[in-house]
Structure 1
Amino acid sequence: MERLLPSDPSVIGGHRLAGRLGAGGMGVVYLARLPHGAWCALKVIRAEYADDPGLRARFRREAELATGLTARWTVPVVGADAEAREPWLATAYVPGPSLAEAVALHGPWPEAQLRGLGSALAEALDGVHTAGLVHRDVKPANVLLAADGPRLIDFGIARAVGATALTADGSVVGSPGYLSPEQARGRTVGPPSDVFSLGCVLAHTATGRPPFGTGGAAGVLYRTVHEEPDVDGVPEGLDRLIRRCLAKQPELRPSARELLDEFGEFGDFAADSWLPEGLPALVAVRAARVLDLPVPEPTVLSGPAPVEPAEAAEAPPSPTRRRLLVAGAALGVTAAGGLGAWWRWGPGNATANTGSARRTRHVVALLGSPDDALHQHQARGARLAVEQHNKDARRTVDLVLGTADDQGTAAGSAAAAARLAADPAVSVVIATGGNVTAPVALRPCTDAGLTVLFTRADTEDLNNVLTTTGLVLRPTQTLGPPAVLRYLNRVVKPARTVIVHDLATEKESLTVIRIATVHGKLDGETVVEDVAADADFTAAARRIAARPQDAVLFGGVRPDRAAACARALRDAGHRGARVAGEHVLGAPFLAVGEDWRIGAGYTDASADPRTKAFAAAFRARHGQAPGPWAAEAYDAVRFAAQGLASLGDDDRRALRAVLLRRPWQGITRRIAFDAVWQYFKAEEDAGAFLYRVTGGAARLVARSDDIGKET
């Protein structure tokens, strides 16, 4: 627990706050006292996020569902207000560690204690299911250990059985490693899904490791759907029961009530012996830390004294102007446009505010490496967007373009992002790097409430944006390469597609396999061809070429490996369609990948009919054709600008909520986000493009939504 900040309130809904239990990009969880003295955990959603109707509706649903639960081993709701400016939900506080922490610290549990744990959790789920609900996120972190028994918490993604899904087709809600195969496939789930998750929890507690392994979410989900669980080490007396819980088919699993009958009532276990040796002391220490806390004193909100009318003439500059002056002094930037060690103002911005003293000035910072050609393209596209914006007489805000050098490394990106986050002049960051550098900028910016827009990075590690300040402006690897999937389904229509699983880049390859097989995004039959990391593709190519008309989808990301695969298929006589994702585009692959189709997240602005005006303006400004990602960076700046115009001079923390409110149409794609989970909404595969490799270069064929019309 952490101390309250001076900016924290003293009381919320009659609950006196004592400390912070945790905080994320969207809100804070406080430890608080109810009016009658009992402790509670009070979850508060920040006002800027509560403005999102979808999020408020989800919070209201969480409160309603949790309030209706009366099962003994769930945590009761003691108060809620979904209509408050900052919605809050209070639940009874459990002063103990989570099951995840307990297993990590003290290792696997013996059979007797496992039975007690299973009994209590089965009873909790029986109550949940009897109430017509499905928890959907049963995992060790959502089980808290108290002296008198465990508690199942966090019904934030629970929903009534049979209710309409709130997620897009193919998306996964829950925690990989503990969700059911049907949940992993993005299908409708019922009570058997919770039983599967309980089986995962018990197997983990018995062995000390997740039953479907660790690593990237894609690999864990694939193993959940297709492979048997690792339950070696589960006590013999529980092995059969846990295996029944982990059956792939929901109808083969026992119900929560059947499990309770198998385990016996929790009351049959002595209260002082239900925990393994060593854990009662840990639980007691945690409880003592909280229960002995004094009644908290009120926090004090400090701020400037009000300005009297007579002093108005000497009032300090506007907050925005003051931000820029302070930041400029700290960074060694003068009015003439001086240069700091790590930050520089973009050219053409010195007169951005000319003619309108009332306009708010916002700094848009590009985070990337000047040695990266793709960053250079984006910087030119962004500069054009800023200059065009500042020439518009109708504008209500002015933009200043800055750049921060991430040195092309993850460490450099984290350090530069931390400096940007600490600079009050910066209103938004556009991360131009790839999957190694860009994602690490997220944490420092989220901690400071600074919005980060990702243009190029597509790692599935960026999918969990709900509790961050990040917004991904393109489809991620979770959707696979949408353009080539559509090309295969609408143009090629093969009877069978072979997916080459390159184990040299297993995590990325598994993402493609999951979308094509688990989620069934490819029509027709699919088979997977594994190729070891230290093997060439000769043997696999010969097997594939035995059916020369089969299509081939290369699931890896390394250009050299893709080149080896292309060469082997050519030499083996394969004649079917061959496709891959954008990461294979490099000199080795382009030299041998003739006639391959490639799905990418960027357009060729010079060849795309919908970006002709941009391409002409780019040539006039920079004296050359726009390169890859230039148009996407241009869109990112314009997307941010329309949000900043709505923001005005408000705190930058509110920008992300503003950007989430409504879709926006750019020259490259329609930018919209799911109302509940806030991931990029790829309607009609927005922002995906199909290329063909010919003559040693990749040439644009069509936007994804046009594939099948004239392709």
Structure 2
Amino acid sequence: MERLLPSDPSVIGGHRLAGRLGAGGMGVVYLARSPHGAWCALKVIRAEYADDPGFRARFRREAELAAGLAVRWTVPVVGADAEAREPWLATAYVPGPSLAEAVALHGPWPEAQLRSLGSALAEALDGVHSAGLVHRDVKPANVLLAADGPRLIDFGIARAVGATALTADGSVVGSPGFLSPEQARARTVGPPSDVFSLGCVLAHTATGRPPFGTGGAAAVLYRTVHKDPDLDGVPEGLGRIVRRCLAKEPELRPDTRELLGVFGGFAADGWLPEGLPALVAARAARVLDLPVPDPTVLSGPAPADLAEVPEDPPSPTRRRLLVAGAALGVTAVGGAGAWWRWGRGNAAANTGSARRTRHVLALLGSPDDAFHQNQIRGARLAVEQHNKDAGRTVDLVLRTADDRGTAAGCAAAAARLAADPAVSLVIATGGNATAPAALPPCTEARLTLLIVRADAEDLQGVKMTTGLVLRTTQTTGPPGALLYLNRAVKPDRTVIVHDLATEKESLTTVRIATVHGKLDGETAVEDVAADADFTAAARRIAARPQDAVLFGGVRPERAAACARALRDAGHRGARVGGEHVLGASFLAVGEDWRIGAGYTDASADPRTKAFAAAFRTRHGQAPGPWAAEAYDAVRFAAQGLASLGDDDRSALRGELLRSPWQGITRRIAFDAVEQYFQVEEDTGEFLYRVTGGTARFVTRSDEIDAET
């Protein structure tokens, strides 16, 4: 659970909010206390969804249907308001871990406990279906574990059988890896779809892995529709029924009544595997001790999608101070837009009498992005260190903006930031699928955009007027991997695997290695069709087993297939690739591959020891990928803002372009004419080695030598 943001209300529909349980594309889920004193989970739907014609009527109907559920293993609805500006639904709160967390922490479940789990969830779904609902998102994260049994939660995308869905037909609704083939094909779903998802949940709980593998959503959906599930490890006594649940055709699956007969009744005694009762009890005790914060009073609404970066962990007193500060800002200048000017204009510094300019830096990304929180923490540390410097001439304020993990969401969020004159600079934390979409609105508003992580070739090929990419792009290939081959391996020949499943990205690497001659020695190219495996290519490569291999694709599952084929064919030479292949599927089979990446491991990199120590002190954990790079982005921005003073924000990019700047991760410099990121002396890239299912830091690219 996270603390409330200053922009969050303190009361919704008479429910006093105590914290945030989560946030997603549809809205925010809060922990709240009802008017009667009971804890509940209160889900608030974003206003833009409520503006959809017919949404409120559907929301009201489905809330009423959910409220009518009297099923033992679901959570009751305790309140709802379909007419609020942001409609909300409150359900009883279960203070236990999710099944997903339990499996991750304690591993697969034995057969006896699996039967109790299956029985309870089948009974819950039987009641759901009898009430005329289909859940449509049965997954481990939506199963909470209480001492007396599991609870199926989150009917946020449930729909009445035969009625129009909350999302239009033709879109995929649910969670890849646990949704049915008919959901993957965006077809009409009924109760059998939930049975398929239940089969996925049981298989995952029995084995510790999803039955259709991991990786990109498209690959998982493809396997769900076309491939057999991986049920290796499911107890023999449950294997047949789980396989029937996972039948591709809905009519071949058992119904919930048959499942209840197979699983038997719920065994209340010992239904949780060893170790989990203590975890459940600890979570329940933690909630009982939670304070409820004092009410917040705001005289105007906070700007949409822009929130102060939360502390971690906060105290209730700290939150009240933050909220009071926000309220003071609104009241002092009257209105939401003026509040942001209060955060930006000339104001007395926190200490002393010197007057400093305040600048708002907005971190644009998705909370669902695996690396976003790392970057928030790295950026926060940079801001805090900067603001403690008595000699500073500017104060920094860090905010976040949610791009919802899509290009459209990123463009919309960037447009809102660009329209706010208080924002001095935007730092895009997302990857190639989202960050480039922020360019057009920032360009139109002449708002400087720093791109930390994305490396799409298009970012290099277009001369930008406001954007600056703080790393090399795909136009240089994976430099760390190329340098490793040239300096450490020195092969007579390198074979570049041109994966046509991602032809554009692969072609860039092929061109760098061959046309531009970035690899020493002879090169050859193996084309692999998008619908082919790598077996034939691997056999040809293994005919010369000492040749090096450079994988040019970007999909982890394709890289995994290539690695597996090379291993099985007996290839013994060096194997390298770029950072985009570092997914779970590849790491499981890519032993001893070397990977070139644009981010460092700050805990292992000798040049970032001070940062790593400060990060641990501040956040209580080691810095993750891209944390140090976000730290550098803020510090780079700060030196430009110091030169800018109180000038118009449109002049900031020019200030940043003028002089090279040395960060802890790399030297940031730009070509004077073309204004692209300039690599000097092979710096700013990093080499990793895959070992034991993990990518481990080896060295910086400029330190690669024959001994690496």
The aligned residue for residue 658 of structure 1 is 655
Contact 1:397–1:645, Cα closer than 8 Å, also in 2: yes
Deviations 1:386-428 (A, max 9, x none): 0000000010000000000000001100000000000000001
The aligned residue for residue 386 of structure 2 is 389
The aligned residue for residue 623 of structure 2 is 626
The aligned residue for residue 588 of structure 2 is 591
Q: 1:667 to 1:351 in 2, by over 3 A?
A: farther
Q: Which amino acid aligns with 2:428?
A: A
CA distance in 1: counterparts of 2:432 and 2:364, whole angstroms = 13
CA distance in 1: counterparts of 2:349 and 2:569, whole angstroms = 60
The aligned residue for residue 520 of structure 1 is 517
CA distance in 2: counterparts of 1:528 and 1:577, whole angstroms = 16
What SS does the aligned partner of 2:359 have?
strand
Q: Is 2:400 aligned against 1:398?
A: no
Q: Is 2:569 aligned against 1:580?
A: no
Residue pairs, 1:129-528, within 5 angstroms: 336-337=325-326, 353-356=350-353, 358-528=355-525
Contact 1:454–1:473, Cα closer than 8 Å, also in 2: yes
The aligned residue for residue 607 of structure 2 is 610
The aligned residue for residue 643 of structure 2 is 646
**Using CA pairs below 8 Å that are at least 6 residues apart, which structure has the higher relative contact order?**
1
CA distance in 2: counterparts of 1:353 and 1:465, whole angstroms = 42
Pairwise CA distance, 1:467: 3.8
The aligned residue for residue 558 of structure 1 is 555
Deviations 1:232-280 (A, max 9, x none): xxxxxxxxxxxxxxxxxxxxxxxxxxxxxxxxxxxxxxxxxxxxxxxxx
CA distance in 2: counterparts of 1:329 and 1:586, whole angstroms = 36
Pairwise CA distance, 1:604: 0.1
Contact 2:597–2:686, Cα closer than 8 Å, also in 1: yes
Contact 1:390–1:399, Cα closer than 8 Å, also in 2: yes
CA distance in 1: counterparts of 2:361 and 2:384, whole angstroms = 12
CA distance in 1: counterparts of 2:348 and 2:594, whole angstroms = 46
CA distance in 2: counterparts of 1:329 and 1:600, whole angstroms = 36
What SS does the aligned partner of 2:539 have?
helix
Contact 1:545–1:572, Cα closer than 8 Å, also in 2: yes
Pairwise CA distance, 1:335: 5.8
Q: 1:362 to 1:603 in 2, by over 3 A?
A: same
Q: Is 2:705 aligned against 1:708?
A: yes
Q: 1:580 to 1:573 in 2, by over 3 A?
A: same
1:571 aligned to which of 568, 572, 584? 568
Structure 1 spans left out of the alignment, 5+ residues:
1-324
Pairwise CA distance, 1:355: 3.3
Structure 2 spans left out of the alignment, 5+ residues:
1-298, 309-322
Q: 1:351 to 1:527 in 2, by over 3 A?
A: farther
Deviations 1:658-707 (A, max 9, x none): 00001000000000000110000011222100000001100010100000
Moved over 2 A (4+): 325-342, 348-357, 464-468
Pairwise CA distance, 1:608: 0.2
Contact 1:353–1:359, Cα closer than 8 Å, also in 2: no
The aligned residue for residue 171 of structure 2 is none
Deviations 1:362-409 (A, max 9, x none): 001100001212011000000000000000001000000000000000
Q: Which amino acid aligns with 2:511?
A: R
Contact 1:352–1:390, Cα closer than 8 Å, also in 2: no
Q: Which amino acid aligns with 1:606?
A: S
Q: Which amino acid aligns with 2:484?
A: Y
Contact 2:348–2:355, Cα closer than 8 Å, also in 1: no
What SS does the aligned partner of 1:491 have?
helix
Cα RMSD, aligned residues only: 2.6
CA distance in 2: counterparts of 1:332 and 1:466, whole angstroms = 31
Contact 2:418–2:445, Cα closer than 8 Å, also in 1: yes
CA distance in 1: counterparts of 2:307 and 2:681, whole angstroms = 47
CA distance in 1: counterparts of 2:303 and 2:691, whole angstroms = 52
Contact 2:449–2:468, Cα closer than 8 Å, also in 1: yes
What SS does the aligned partner of 1:463 have?
helix
CA distance in 2: counterparts of 1:516 and 1:329, whole angstroms = 48
Contact 1:327–1:425, Cα closer than 8 Å, also in 2: no
CA distance in 2: counterparts of 1:389 and 1:440, whole angstroms = 30
The aligned residue for residue 670 of structure 2 is 673
Q: Is 2:526 aligned against 1:529?
A: yes
What SS does the aligned partner of 2:391 have?
coil
CA distance in 2: counterparts of 1:577 and 1:364, whole angstroms = 43
Pairwise CA distance, 1:512: 0.1
Q: Which amino acid aligns with 2:678?
A: K
Q: Which amino acid aligns with 1:676?
A: V
1:636 aligned to which of 633, 636, 642? 633
What SS does the aligned partner of 2:325 have?
coil
Deviations 1:520-549 (A, max 9, x none): 000011111000000000000000000000
Q: Which amino acid aligns with 1:406?
A: D
CA distance in 2: counterparts of 1:392 and 1:364, whole angstroms = 18
Q: Which amino acid aligns with 1:642?
A: Q
Give the TM-score of the pair, scaled to structure 2: 0.52
Q: Which amino acid aligns with 1:516?
A: A
Give the TM-score of the pair, scaled to structure 1: 0.52
CA distance in 1: counterparts of 2:507 and 2:461, whole angstroms = 18
Contact 1:352–1:400, Cα closer than 8 Å, also in 2: no
Q: 1:490 to 1:612 in 2, by over 3 A?
A: same
Pairwise CA distance, 1:327: 11
Q: 1:327 to 1:481 in 2, by over 3 A?
A: farther
Q: 1:418 to 1:352 in 2, by over 3 A?
A: farther
Contact 1:442–1:468, Cα closer than 8 Å, also in 2: no
